[in-house]
Amino acid sequence: GKLSQWFHYKVRDSFFVLVDRQMCRRKADGYFRKQKCNFIRLKMDIKDINISEVEDAKSYKKVCYACKHLCGGATDLALVAAARTAKQKDTTVLIALCCHHLCTWDLYTGKDYFLSHFKPEQFYILSSLSAWATCFKQETMQINDHDVINNEIQKFQNNPKSFMQQENLVLDRNLQWYIGRCAKTVLNDGRAQFMLDNGFRVQFSKYVNVTVSPENIALLCTKST
Q: Do residues 214 and 134 make contact, with C-beta atoms less than 8 angstroms apart?
A: yes
Burial of 46 (0-12, 13-18, 19+ CB in 10 A): buried
Phi, psi of 86 (to 5 degrees): -65, -10
Of the candidates 60, 81, 66, 46, the one whose C-alpha atom is nearest the C-alpha of residue 14 is 60
Alpha carbon dihedral 13, 18, 24, 25, in 10-degree steps, equals: 0
Higher per-residue confidence, 129 vs 43: 129
Q: Which pLDDT score, from 0 to 100, does residue 75 have?
A: 95
| pLDDT tens digits for range 9-21 | 566 677 777 777 7
- What's the CA gap between 71 and 22, in Å, rounded? 15
Q: Do residues 189 and 171 make contact, with C-beta atoms less than 8 angstroms apart?
A: no
| pLDDT tens digits for range 131-154 | 999 886 654 555 555 565 567 667
Q: Is the model's pTM score more than 0.95?
A: no
Average confidence (pLDDT) over 26-34 = 64
Q: How many CA atoms lie within 13 A of 166 on its CB side?
A: 11
